[in-house]
Amino acid sequence: MNHRNRNSPNEISQPLVSGSAMEEIKSDSTPQHRLIPVEPQVVLSEPPKSKRVASLDIFRGLTVALMILVDDAGEEWPMIGHAPWNGCNLADFAMPFFLFIVGMAIALALKKIPSQLMAIEKITLRTLKLLFWGLLLQGGYSHKPDKLTYGVDVKKIRLCGILQRIAFAYLVVALVEVLSRKAQSRDQPAQSRDQPFGHFSIFKSYFWHWLVGACILVVYFTLLYGTYVPDWQFTVNDSDSDYFGRNFTVACGVRGSLDPPCNAAGYLDRKLLGINHLYPYPAWRRSKACTENSLYAGPFRNNAPSWCFAPFEPEGILSSISSILSTIIGVHFGHVLIHFQDHSARLKQWITMGFALLIFGLVLHFTHVIPINKQLYTLSYVCVTSGAAALVFCVFYSLVDIWGLKYLFLPLEWIGMNAMLVFVMAAMGIFAGFINGWYYEDPHNTLIYWIKKHLFIGVWHSRRVGILLYVIFAEILFWSIVAGILHRFRLYWKL
């Protein structure tokens, strides 16, 4: 490893990561994120067998489990679902946690790919695979598990989504990581084992990453506050809606608005993607302005403003540009893991930056300078969620990689090592849709329906509690066991 003390108790072996295709939300069967304990004053003739940084797998598994929880229990427990507009609920941490993990994985996976051209080829291929799966899973082809239908009108396919955003952030930051190597190599020879990276020199060595981040902020703020948003019209295309086919007009004519109807992010998506390709059920439908029983989804108010019926893309173009910042911060944490020589130095760097980000974001929000908003992916949202990701990872790193308490988190580690499989089958509802396809007499009389009704809701005499426990035990715990069995046989989903 670059300029590391051989006697360090946490030395990272080489190569750091083989070219796994989905490093950002899964782990490969080949050794990755590896730490090697090296006994002092022992000369090793051969490289010792390495092991994974288990805390990163566990953090990845926690994020996938969090997504399953908020997606499948959020309807009954809306306080954990996405905030309708400003604010940050539990669900709003999932996306930036994923992107933070993407960044750490980039730093580890690409550091020692020998050829720049080879690295770019791998990055491009992974990006295309992510885009393909994103369109297939969230473009509208796959329907809800209880619909028993599939297929999408290509005129109305949703172009953006979770995996598409991950693909975009991964592509940009991974290219910066690879293309800036020459600049890094000019700075790093000055760092020797006797003079390891300091808390500020590591920022200087990876100057290009932060320069790109600053440029992203300039572009984001310029478009968000400088774009003029005119009045706009739309037609309700949801066939299940009582307002299907009705035309609405939204009055705007403003610049710099961060409100739901007239923000620049929505305007750019409508112009560049087309309004028919946006997400038709935005979280703002549960806001007080739209529904009688906010935060629950329900009938619209009789006097609900016209924009309540409109589509909006939460993973749109402008918000995806600012989401790159979450990945850049994650890359920095990966660089610290690589270059810093001991646990205490790493934790000092991570915890300091985590608290700084968290406090700065909260100050921006509560002073009403920039609200925390997941839909717009504002700077305050980036700081708060990245700071939270940093501190959560520090907790796992301390408990698992320092104190050796990995056994407490085995279910999350198993999910994290096969996260793509669990994400597709559980979070996207593919497995539930398959099971629901086998019913008795009535399409609603399925195994999943029976388990929910008789083993959870009926036992607890509460639909809310029953659904919550069903998600925890019949989905998250079930898939952790499946992932554990697959890990036992070294079977992993590779894209």
Asked if residue 383 is part of any domain, the answer here is yes
Residues 367 and 465 in one domain: no
Domain-embedded: residue 415: yes
Question: What pLDDT score does 16 carry?
Answer: 34
pLDDT at 441: 79
Distance between CA atoms of 309 and 427, rounded to whole angstroms?
26
> Are residues 419 and 441 located together in one domain of the fold?
no
- Is the distance from CB of 132 to CB of 126 less than 8 angstroms? no
For residue 395, the model assigns a pLDDT of 97
Contacts of 459 (CB under 8 A, 6+ apart): 466
User: What is the tens place of the pLDDT at every residue in 275-304?
Assistant: 999 998 899 999 999 998 877 877 888 888
Q: What is the pLDDT of residue 297?
A: 79
**Cis, peptide link before residue 15, omega less than 30° from 0:** yes
Place of tokens 């980039």: 106
pLDDT digits (tens, 9 = 90+) for 20-78: 334 433 434 334 444 444 444 433 333 344 457 899 999 999 999 999 999 999 888 98
List pLDDT tens digits, range 437-447. Answer: 888 877 788 88
Q: How many domains does the chain have?
A: 2
Question: Do 474 and 362 share a structural domain?
Answer: no
Instruction: Among 425, 455, 479, give the residue marking a domain's end.
Output: 425
Which amino acid is it at 41? Q
pLDDT band at 12 (very low <50, low <70, confident <90, very high): very low
414 & 446 share domain? no
Within a domain: 286 = no
Is the pLDDT reported for residue 86 higher than 50? Answer: yes
Domain check: are 92 and 177 in the same one?
yes
pLDDT level of residue 273 (50, 70, 90 thresholds): very high
- Does residue 477 sit in the same domain as residue 401? no
Instruction: Please check whether residue 86 lies inside any domain of the structure.
Output: yes
The average pLDDT across 313-318 equals 95
Confidence bin at 355 (pLDDT 50/70/90):
very high
Q: Which of 425, 445, 479 is the last residue of a domain?
A: 425
The mean pLDDT value of the chain amounts to: 84
Q: For the ranges 55-59, 249-253, 319-323, 442-446, which has the lowest average pLDDT?
A: 442-446
**Which of 7-16, 237-246, 334-343, 375-384 is predicted with the least confidence, judged by mean pLDDT?**
7-16
Domain termination residue (choose one: 374, 403, 425): 425
**Span 158-204, pLDDT tens digits:** 999 999 999 999 999 999 999 987 666 655 554 444 445 666 788 88
Query: Does residue 457 sit within a domain?
Result: yes
Domain with 383, as residue range(s), is 54-189+199-222+324-425
Distance CA 35, CA 342 (A): 11
Residue 234 has pLDDT above 60, yes or no: yes
What does the pLDDT read at residue 419? 92
Is residue 269 over pLDDT 80? yes
> Would you call 461 exposed, middle or buried from its count of C-beta atoms within 10 A (0-12, 13-18, 19+)?
exposed
Domain check: are 345 and 213 in the same one?
yes
pLDDT at 188: 56
Q: How confident is the model at residue 435 (pLDDT cuts 50, 70, 90)?
A: confident
457, 463 contact by CB (below 8 A): yes
For the residues of 178-215, what is the DSSP string, one character each?
A: HHTHHHHHHHGGG--SSS---TTHHHHHTHHHHHHHHH
Lowest mean pLDDT among 187-201, 323-337, 373-387, 453-467: 187-201
Q: Is the dihedral of CA 50, 483, 423, 65 positive or negative?
A: negative
Any idea which residue has 């426990």 for tokens? Answer: 469
Looking at the fold, whether 474 and 360 belong to one and the same domain comes out as: no
Residue 102 pLDDT class (50, 70, 90 cuts): very high
| pLDDT the model gives residue 446 | 86
pLDDT exceeds 60 at position 19: no
| Per-residue model confidence (pLDDT) at position 494 | 79
Which pLDDT score, from 0 to 100, does residue 5 have? 41
In a domain, 396, yes or no: yes
| Statement to judge: residues 338 and 477 lie in one domain | no
Condensed to tens digits (0 to 9), the pLDDT of residues 127-147 reads: 999 999 999 888 877 667 767
**Confidence at residue 116, expressed as pLDDT on a 0 to 100 scale:** 87
Residue 37: predicted pLDDT: 43
Q: What is the mean pLDDT of residues 227-240?
A: 88
Lowest pLDDT segment from 32-36, 103-107, 221-225, 359-363: 32-36
Residue 368 has pLDDT above 80, yes or no: yes
Residue 19 domain flag:
no
The structure's pTM equals: 0.86
Tell me whether residue 301 is in a domain.
no
User: What average pLDDT does the segment 108-113 reach?
Assistant: 82
Is residue 495's pLDDT more than 90? no
Q: Are residues 164 and 218 in the same domain?
A: yes
Do 435 and 389 belong to one domain?
Answer: no
Same domain, 443 and 400: no
